[in-house]
Amino acid sequence: MPRVLIVDDQKDVRAMVAIVLRVNHYDVVEAESGAAGLKAFGEETFDAAIVDIFLADTSGVDVMATIRERAPGFPIVAVSGMTALDFIGEAPGLADVICLQKPFRPNDLLQALRKAQAAAGGELSAAV
């Protein structure tokens, strides 16, 4: 079962994303901050990450950059309710991050995860 790290400081968003993923046979770990997400990423193994751009404690772009420093090409979906997604491709090492605008539908989330994995050269094995 693929493991996905969810980094979002909005509890309701994290819960919704986690439910969608669990129903679709993903194992999920939720992190309420960038620091918690990076700690989990350093301690556990994941197949993909979903990271909010605007976090209370740090920039989601910084979180994604740190993940990519530790694991180049790692599948990441960036989410935001703002238009900051346009700038993700400009950040070094983040050109192939898949961006998803909030609010999104469950199928959009699942499709974004598939695209992120394809961009990383693999395929998530969950039934999506």
Q: Which two tokens stand for residue 57?
A: 């404690």
Q: Over the stretch 16-46, which tens digit does the pLDDT of each residue have? A: 999 999 999 999 999 999 999 999 999 999 9
Query: How far is it, in rounded angstroms, from Cα 32 to Cα 14?
Result: 8
Please report, for the chain, the start and end positions of each structural domain, with discontinuous segments joined by +.
Answer: 3-117
pLDDT at 127 (0 to 100): 43
Could you say which architecture CATH assigns to the domain 3-117? 3-Layer(aba) Sandwich (3.40)
Question: Is 128 or 12 the better-scoring residue by pLDDT?
Answer: 12
Q: Exposed e or buried b for every residue in 96-111, given b needs 16+ CB within 10 A?
A: bbbbbeeebeeeebbb
Contact assessment for residue 10 and residue 52, using Cβ atoms and an 8 Å cutoff: yes
Average pLDDT score over the chain: 89
